[in-house]
């Protein structure tokens, strides 16, 4: 999916919500445990309940990899179940020497080889240009580079400063020469509200993937105040806040209620910003 198509989806659904699919077996409602693949059944029902309210789904691969072969199978089936017009993000945080990154790119972008073809993958920028390049070779696929993350320890490295500025600023400045804003997004935590104006100065046209609303307490209003651009430019993710809104047989309805609250907030913001 390209940028134009993504913005069209945002306008059609009046939403820039990304639902995070991070299921843990212990948190899956009991009545699903008799299914052959409870994780997939859980995801399937979440997708059915929220697919008209969001423009993206983001399975974090850790939640599948941790379950070995059956986890990969759940991930594959989940990817295949997501409607074609919804943006898919493999939150895998990969990046290695070039020939290894090429294998990671095949794993998440090359359906013929791996059975999956996500629209985007999250990548750690630490190893530099040749570790990111193999992901950028795929047409209409996206690399989402970690820039300023939502966790408390983001400051251990990302805020390191020299005469040129902070490390995360340098990540954006340098990497934006590796590909266009039709290929590159950045991860910026919703908990970093105060930094959005600065980030937009460095990356005016790029989409930002913004995790951290919901369970991590980030504010949608703060993110949008300076984060929006002419094509919306934001995919705001909530995982636990949506998928674990309910614990019983009505978990999918409860998930829908939480997703709807965020979508309605987003619709007001998009309307006020003249983006609809
Ligand atoms: O800076 C980052 C980068 C990635 N994440 C991931 O996003 C989701 C957030 O989940 P919640 O349950 O909504 O907190 C999860 O997959 C993280 O690994 C992030 O939170 N912050």
Nearest residue by C-alpha to atom 21 in ligand 1: 150
Using the mean position of ligand 1's atoms as its centre, give its distance from the Cα of residue 201 in Å: 24
Task: Assess contact for 254 and 228: CB atoms under 8 A.
Answer: no
The whole-number pLDDT of residue 193 equals 87
The Cα 96–Cα 115 span in angstroms is 22
Pairing relation of β-strands 161-162 and 165-166?
antiparallel
* pLDDT per residue as tens digits for the range 174-187: 999 999 999 999 99
Mutational pocket test of ligand 1: of 89, 144, 150, 199, the residue with most ligand atoms within 8 Å of the beta carbon: 150
Task: Please tell me which residue in 93, 129, 254, 261 is annotated as part of the active site.
Answer: 93
Nearest residue by C-alpha to atom 18 in ligand 1: 60
Q: Which two tokens stand for residue 141?
A: 């696929």
- Closest-CA residue to 134 (of 96, 177, 90, 172): 96
* pLDDT per residue as tens digits for the range 209-221: 999 998 999 999 9
pLDDT range class, residue 123, cuts 50, 70, 90: very high
Q: What is the pTM of this model?
A: 0.97
Residue 234's domain comprises 3-272
Q: Which two tokens stand for residue 200?
A: 């937009």
Task: Assess contact for 219 and 262: CB atoms under 8 A.
Answer: no
The Cα 8–Cα 25 span in angstroms is 35
Q: Is 93 a catalytic residue?
A: yes
Using the mean position of ligand 1's atoms as its centre, give its distance from the Cα of residue 114 in Å: 25
* pLDDT per residue as tens digits for the range 2-20: 999 999 999 999 999 999 9
**Residue 196 belongs to a domain with what CATH number?**
3.20.20.70
The Cα 17–Cα 86 span in angstroms is 11
Distances (CA, A) of 55 to 27, 176, 200, 263: 25, 24, 22, 10
The Cα 234–Cα 115 span in angstroms is 28
Using the mean position of ligand 1's atoms as its centre, give its distance from the Cα of residue 163 in Å: 31
- Which of the residue ranges 63-67, 154-158, 215-219 would you say has the lowest mean pLDDT? 215-219
- Closest-CA residue to 208 (of 266, 128, 146): 146
* pLDDT per residue as tens digits for the range 89-109: 999 999 999 999 999 999 999
User: In sequence order, which residues have a C-beta less than 8 Å from that of residue 178 and are 6 or more positions away?
Assistant: 129, 132, 133, 136, 184
Enumerate residues lining ligand 1, CB below 6 A. Answer: 20, 22, 60, 91, 149-151, 187, 189, 211-212, 214-216, 237-241
Residue range 132-160: mean pLDDT, rounded? 97
Looking at the structure of the chain, the number of domains it has is 1
Nearest residue by C-alpha to atom 11 in ligand 1: 239
């Amino acid at each position: 999916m390209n940028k134009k198509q993504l913005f069209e989806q945002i306008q059609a659904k009046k939403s820039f919500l990304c639902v995070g699919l991070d299921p843990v077996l212990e948190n899956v409602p009991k009545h699903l445990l008799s299914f052959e693949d409870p994780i997939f059944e859980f995801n399937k029902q979440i997708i059915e309940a929220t697919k008209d309210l969001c423009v993206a789904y983001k399975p974090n691969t850790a939640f599948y990899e941790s379950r070995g072969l059956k986890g990969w199978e759940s991930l594959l089936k989940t990817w295949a179940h997501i409607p074609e017009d919804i943006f898919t993000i493999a939150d895998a945080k990969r990046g290695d020497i070039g020939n290894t990154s090429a294998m990671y790119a095949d794993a998440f972008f090359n359906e013929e080889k791996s059975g999956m073809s996500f629209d985007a993958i999250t990548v750690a920028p630490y190893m530099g240009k040749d570790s990111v390049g193999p992901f950028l070779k795929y047409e209409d696929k996206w690399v989402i580079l970690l820039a300023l993350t939502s966790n408390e320890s983001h400051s251990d490295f990302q805020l390191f400063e020299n005469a040129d500025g902070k490390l995360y600023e340098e990540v954006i400045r340098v990497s934006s020469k590796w590909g266009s804003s039709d290929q590159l997004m950045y991860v910026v935590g919703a908990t970093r509200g105060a930094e959005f104006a600065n980030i937009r100065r460095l990356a005016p046209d790029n989409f930002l993937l913004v995790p951290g609303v919901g369970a991590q307490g980030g504010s949608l209003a703060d993110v949008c105040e300076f984060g929006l651009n002419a094509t919306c430019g934001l995919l705001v993710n909530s995982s636990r806040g949506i998928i674990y809104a309910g614990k019983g047989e009505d978990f999918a309805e409860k998930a829908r209620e939480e997703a709807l609250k965020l979508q309605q907030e987003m619709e007001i913001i998009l309307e006020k910003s003249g983006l609809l």
